[in-house]
Structure formats: structure tokens, C-alpha cells
Amino acid sequence: MENLMFVYRSCKVIWTLLVTILGSASSLPVGDDSICTAEELAKYSIVFTGKWSQTAFPKQYPLYRPPAQWSSMLGVTHSSDYSMWKKNEYASNGVRDFAEKGEAWVLMKEIEEAGEKIQSVHGIFSAPAISSGTGQTSTELEVHSRHPLVSFVVRIVPSPDWFVGIDSLNLCEGDHWMEEVSVDLFPYDAGTDSGFTFSSPNFATIPQDTVTEITCSSPSHPANSFYYPRLKILPPIAQVTMVKLKKTQLGLPAPYLDLAAKSNEVIDSVSETPLDCEVSQWSSWGLCRGLCRKTGTKIRTRFVLLQPANNGMPCPNLDEETGCEPENCV
């Protein structure tokens, strides 16, 4: 009997401990941000730098109607319960509208609904558009120890549904906030429009594809505006830098790094992407010209599809001649 009582008391103690542990665990937020023990709030300046120059990206570079430029930035600070967009997953209706047309209303509504339903969003931030491929825009954002993740999107203009951005960057490292972080940005395809070039007409992707990174070899099609088969990787098309503000800096304008005027010089010295000449297929052979019963000549031609740039492969001969026997001689 004493043995049974001992077993009973032992089981009761173990059960009490399990209930306590599980109860504590269930009150913790789920995901990577659950380990953030830094001070509750932190503010950052965020500076977006466009590096989309004609030297770095010479193929089909948009010069007019409209020229190369960037949309406004739309971003959010949040917990791991929310996701604005993810590589290899389907874009939401809001991200689709933003990537295709630069319209933010649906995406804003999605963010607000996520904040109301599961308390996963701390704040929304935005920065003005950039009217050229190179230049800067900036703003401030606030993160919370329960919402330490940053996500944003910026549309590439013009494009079918291409954008750059960050998905769930954690600014908290254990018991402190990161002082500064810089991230190189590369183009993404939202998977909702099937255009290959910057100026492609609207052609919906049915069924919708997932969000994919655009590389120098994918999509593997010569018509693709980012197709550079001689490169191993694309140069960064943009960069974002976030710097933690000290308490004495709160309320001051976000720092603006005045690189816009010099950005072409800086980018040109770093990234000169060679662009090889591209020519069409040969035309059919023309008529054979010459005297009867003597060898004549016929010619075929082709034309330049894309002029070379940055010491790329020069264009080959555009016409070719060969011998032939004249026909219909009398």
C-alpha cells in the first residue's frame, strides 16, 4: 500500500510539472522571433538605393515610355505569424496588384486584416518612389520585441510583375537589436504575368505560378530582359540599409546618403555587364544573279536584334554570298 501511495505522489508531482511547463510554453509566441529579449521597442532608418543603371543592365534598358524607375516602398514590421510574400509560394492578391500595377490598396487591406485577426503586425511604413533607375529613398520604421521581422516590396517600373524586396528579416539578435544591416536586392517574378521583357503587354499567367527569383539564366530565354548568359550571377539591382537610431535621434528625419548624383559613376566602376550582339536568323537565299551557263551569286541577310555594350561580342557579318547556277536561261 505504501508503495502504491509513493507511486501516486510521484506521478502527481510529474503531472504538475508538465502542466506548468506546457502552460508556460503555450503563452510564448511561435517562431524565430520568440527568442527576442531585447528592449521592447527600437527604431530604424531604412534607405533604399536603386542600382538599376544602363551599364549594369544594358539589355533592353528602358529609356522612355516610361524610363527605368522604382515604385514607392511598402513595408511592414511583424511577427512570424504573418508573411507578406515568400519565394516559391503563391503571391497574394495584394502583392499581385502591387507588382503588376503599383496599386497598394488590396495589400494594405491584407496587412490590416492580419494585424486585427492575429495581432501579427506592429506597424506599416512607406517611402517615396524614385523617378530613375538609380537613386535613393528613405523613411523610418519601428520594431517590437514580439514583432522584430521586416518585410517590404518595391516594384520594378516598367515590368510585367517584377519587384525587389525583403521577406521576414529579423532585426533582433537574442537580447539586443542589430545596429546596422545592409542587404543586396535581386529581381523577383510575382508569378502572375507571363511577360519576358520590361515593356511586355499584360498577359496573365494561368494558372498562377509561385514567386521566383529572376537570374541571369532563368527564365532561360534570350528574350528575357535579365538574360545574360555570360554572367554567373546578376549584379545587385538595388540595396537596402537599415540603421538603428539612438534615442537622441528619434523624431529626426531618416539619414539620406547623397549618392544619387554620383550613383552612375559608382555603379559603372563596379558593374559593367558585357552584352553580346544578337542577330536574327538568316533570311532565305535571294535570286541567283549572273550570266547564263556561268556561275552566278546569291545573297542572304540578317539584321541586328541587340547592339553590343560594355565590350561585349561584336556583331558578325550581316550578309552572306554563295555561288549558284542561274535559272531560266535561254
Domain residue spans of the chain: 42-244, 278-324
- Residue 201 has a pLDDT of 87
pLDDT at residue 159 above 70?
Answer: yes
42-244 and 278-324 in the same fold: no
pLDDT reading at 279 higher than 60: yes
- What per-residue confidence (pLDDT) applies to 34? 58
Q: Which residues 6+ apart lie within 8 Å of 13 measured at CB?
A: none
* Whole-number pLDDT of residue 5: 44
SS3 247: helix
Model pTM?
0.75
Q: How far is Cα 45 from Cα 256, in angstroms, rounded to an integer?
A: 9
Q: How does residue 180 score in pLDDT terms, banded at 50, 70 and 90?
A: very high
When pLDDT is averaged across residues 137-149 and rounded to a whole number, the result is: 95
- Whole-angstrom Cα distance, residue 111 to residue 246? 28
Per-residue pLDDT, 17: 39
pLDDT tier at 118 (50, 70, 90 boundaries)?
A: confident
- Helix, strand, coil percent content, the chain, rounded in steps of 5: 20, 30, 50
Task: Pick the most confident of 10-24, 251-265, 313-327.
Answer: 313-327
Q: How far apart are CA 300 and CA 259, in angstroms?
A: 50
CA-angle at 13, arms to 12 and 16, nearest 5°: 85
Here the cell at position 232 is 554567373
What percentage of the chain carries pLDDT values higher than 70? 82
Q: How far is the C-alpha of 132 from the C-alpha of 260, rounded, in Å? A: 10
Please give the share of the chain, as a percent, with pLDDT higher than 90. Answer: 56
Buried b (16+ CB within 10 A) or exposed e, 5-21: eeeeeeeeeeeeeeeee
pLDDT band at 220 (very low <50, low <70, confident <90, very high): confident
State mean pLDDT over 168-177: 95
* Per-residue pLDDT at 249: 60
- pLDDT value, residue 23: 36
Residue 47 has pLDDT above 90, yes or no: yes
CA end-to-end distance (rounded Å), the chain: 128
d(CA 112, CA 3): 59
At 330, the pLDDT band (50, 70, 90 cuts) reads low
Looking at this protein, which amino acid is placed at residue 314?
P
CATH number of 42-244: 2.60.40.2130
| Amino acid identity at 51 | K
Confidence of residue 280 (pLDDT cuts 50, 70, 90): confident
Q: What is the DSSP string of 61-72?
A: ---SSSPSEEEE
In the numeric block, which cell numbers belong to residue 213?
A: 527569383
Q: What is the pLDDT of residue 270?
A: 54
What average pLDDT does range 224-247 have in this prediction?
A: 93
Q: What are the helix (H) ranges across the chain?
A: 2-26, 93-101, 105-118, 263-270
- Distance between CA atoms of 69 and 286, rounded to whole angstroms? 45
- pLDDT exceeds cutoff 50 at 283: yes
Question: Average pLDDT of the chain?
Answer: 83
Residue 83 pLDDT class (50, 70, 90 cuts) = very high
Q: Determine the pLDDT at residue 255.
A: 53
- pLDDT value at residue 114: 86
Residues 123-137: tens digit of each pLDDT? 999 999 999 999 999
Q: What is the pLDDT of residues 50-68, one digit of tens each?
A: 999 999 999 999 998 899 9
Spatial distance between the Cα atoms of 217 and 59, rounded to a whole number of angstroms: 14
Q: What is the arithmetic mean of pLDDT over 213-242?
A: 93
Range 278-324 classified under CATH 2.40.50:
no
Phi and psi dihedrals of 282, rounded to 5? -65, 145
Phi/psi for 155 (5° steps) reads -80, 140
Tell me the C-alpha distance between 42 and 40, whole Å.
7
Taking the C-alpha atoms of residue 104 and residue 72, their distance in angstroms, rounded to an integer, is 10
